[in-house]
Chain A
């Protein structure tokens, strides 16, 4: 990585926010922030940029008083503060618009605006006044919102404006926007940027969280780059290229090695043809995606989250309907088949969200293990379950997959994250699958379970299963995959038949949309 001058604070800079040496360890042991220094000047738009899980939201929740730092100090306008709750942060002029909106859908815009601080006539809430206040502040900052519309009826872009206005109404001078563009259409994004610039020109200070390089380059003055809970430095936006940002954002601190033999690809098992999907906000999440996967190989799908991977996996397992295109397994079209039929064709899925799809938390391990096979002959005697064979199967898998548990009836929801995932994996790997779709198979679980699951995936693929590995973990996709595809904006940005020559830098550029294989790298807009 080339060296680059970082933006240094001098004594003359007036700092609106200064966070020093912040560390945050959540009760589950995840260290979301490690000794992070973060500062924002008065009247700037400051980007906080990093991949999913880098710790951006955690850092900002600390600044907004929603989370308490495990270590570190916070200064607002040069004064040391303790922010024990959002109301204290608000009192210091900090406002935050969350990644997920926090509006009450059944109330009107005006009612949401004054929630928790309603204007009153005696003891009665003065609704008319609330409407007037909303209209007035919206007009003052040039926001186009309808105070009397119900929040559930208004478009996403307007909900966001309501969130921003709410913060302004509460006297925020420092605005934190957590991935505000993730849900917006490009038109709405343009509108948002125009308004943010206006706010800056009025003297507001803005922290803008994103992982989209082009937006950051376009909008912000300076940036702090985060990776793996650490700050990778503070830079003037003008002084850094997108490539340089990408190198600092994406990359591995430690390179993991996975031992595996060379793959011996067999027949095509999975064929994806021209798959398209448009989500409920009219956003095109998949755009005519096509690829093949053969028996005996691991095909990795890399990409920053939210670039169509989730939609792809859901469609493969018929949990979503595609807008167009088709999927074939072993030559059979599976688009629209029931999950039962898809499983009967030999497809297994480790779902991204194990708590929502992967397990029944209030049921025991045995109940979770037999979910895909309970109606097979081996587990029934006429109408009654053959408990002996169910128990044998469960005990065998508990042993084989080293699931740490009290007994086979322990509720799966009570196990640790790694052991919950082992229950899912034990079920999905033990049904003799010809195709395993592993979506973020090791996210958020301990090292032991991670290594175990990766080794099993390699083992199964070398034994002839086709493995589709979807992962946002660079180490995992780069080291496990025989072939690799990178998703960006619902397209296949790049596809590699040989992963051994790939570098982190190159991956980063594809993942962040700086490069696509069809065209050569985009021209650099700035020069260092």
Chain B
């Protein structure tokens, strides 16, 4: 009874959020263009439907591109889930993704290995490097109480400039016009899953599998359990006898590990050399996705899909309509806002909780009355 009512409520809330978001987006679109319906079409169905002479058809390649775009962000979002679950607002995923990509690239270039092994080892080494980086704000927090949010934010830029330094002065391929490394050894490339230029690699399968694994880790292991309890009430965790400091550090390390994995898989799957010259942005997107998924790892792929779809729709709207790109950012942000508002429709939810409590009380009284008679 309760479950069904809460599920019903979740669905209604989801639908209401979508409708409101679209309504707001529509208002902006109508304000910004003379062809609002064309723009809306681009935004809503453009990402997966192409309009040719002979009518609309499902655009498989475009769909694959959306899936490919999800790969790094699923990983960074999972990292955020783990770090935020411990109530540590470590924003180092951005730097972690970049460092992971760079270190993995170096292994892919300079350490020859067997074909099956090479990408795996490259990614793992990159991931560990990233984990050590996001561990730094955690250590500063537990040892001297420095805000992890501030230190991780600054750390991202430190990481970026360190990577750029090594890219420019140590590992650049001087034979190329642009600043990039030498090419990866062919053994290190992550294979494409489908034909065409979508860059949908087996990294996608890995991302989904890792999402499930992290779900199990968070909800079915003693470490994930401690992370969650610390996040909910650290006093309680201490009093219960949990090793609060170690678990917080573990969560921050894992967060970086996952972000680094995302960066590494992206680099080895999409490119032939390392050529990022700024922070890749996956860390920020990961935070957005994790918030949408309410730190639930299993919900991350769905949230990642939503964001990737929305990004693609906005991109299409930008290229195929006259809406200025600033307006597109506004539309994107307002759609996101409606989804992320944690307390959205909280009043309604409260009423349902109260109603449930009343029902239960009535039931209990009825049961008590019945047992007295019997």
Contact = CB atoms under 8 A, between A and B. Distances in A.
A362 B220 contact: no
B238 A339 contact: yes
Contact of A343 (B220, B241, B353): B241
Interface stretch (A29-37, A153-161, A380-388, A514-522): A380-388
A360 B240 CA distance: 10
Contacts of A380: 222
A371 B222 contact: no
Contacts of B360: 406
B120 interface: no
A415 to B, nearest CB: 10
B66 to A, nearest CB: 33
- Say whether chain A's binding surface is mostly helix, strand, loop, or mixed: mixed
Residue among A343, A358, A374 with most chain B CB within 10 A: A374
Contacts of A339: 238-241
Given A360-B229, A385-B222, 6 more contacts: A340-B243, A360-B237, A361-B232, A371-B229, A374-B222, A404-B364
A64 interface: no
A414 B349 CA distance: 13
Interface in B215-229: 216, 220-222, 225-226, 228-229
Given A367-B225, A375-B222, A360 B232 contact: yes
A500 interface: no
Interface string B8-43: 000000000000000000000000000000000000
B242 interface: yes
Interface of A: 317, 319, 338-340, 342-344, 349, 351, 356-363, 367, 370-372, 374-375, 380, 383-385, 387, 404, 406, 414
Given A371-B242, A406-B360, A384 B220 contact: yes
Interface string B337-369: 000000000000000010000001000100000
B228 A384 contact: no
B221 A358 contact: no
A359 B233 contact: yes
Interface in B145-180: none
A358 B236 CA distance: 6
A496 B233 CA distance: 39
Interface residues of B, number: 23
Given A360-B232, A363-B228, A317 B239 contact: yes
B241 A338 contact: yes
Residue among A344, A367, A371 with most chain B CB within 10 A: A371
A20 B225 CA distance: 54
Contacts of B240: 339, 371-372
B59 to A, nearest CB: 41
A370 to B, nearest CB: 8
Contacts of A363: 228-229, 232
A357 B235 contact: yes
A41 to B, nearest CB: 46
A367 B226 CA distance: 10
B236 A374 contact: no
A360 B364 contact: no
Nearest to B233: A360
B110 interface: no
Nearest to B361: A404
B28 to A, nearest CB: 34
A440 B237 CA distance: 21
Contacts of B58: none
